[in-house]
Amino acid sequence: MLIIPCPWCGARDESEFAYGGEADIVRPPAEVSDAAWAEYLYVRDNPRGKNRELWFHRDGCFQWFVLERDTATNECLSAHRIDPPGEEG
């Protein structure tokens, strides 16, 4: 059981959250090659070790945030808000 440190709610069980894929994936401009679009959609670093991930607190604050986690040990290293404090919608 992962204990995930939600940056809004604090530490909660993994069953409250949904994994949302690798963070820092940037959508390319509208006019790109098929190969570049496929790279954006499908190709991943899939690291063994430290990973920056998007998580969604589905059964809590309903916020997306960035979790740094070690995929080799499942250790949750740190969590970060996506919006600056006070500006969240």
Secondary structure letter of residue 63 according to DSSP: -
Toward other proteins, which CB reaches closer, 39 or 68?
39
Alpha carbon distance 35, 86 (integer Å) = 39
12 by DSSP, 3-state: which? strand
Please, what is the minimum distance in Å from the beta carbon of residue 32 to other proteins? 11
Q: Dihedral sign, CA of 79, 80, 85, 87?
A: negative
Candidates 8, 37, 56, 64; binder of other proteins (CB under 8 A) is 37
Interacting residues with other proteins (CB under 8 A): 1-2, 14-15, 18-19, 34-35, 37-39, 41-48, 51, 53, 69, 71-74
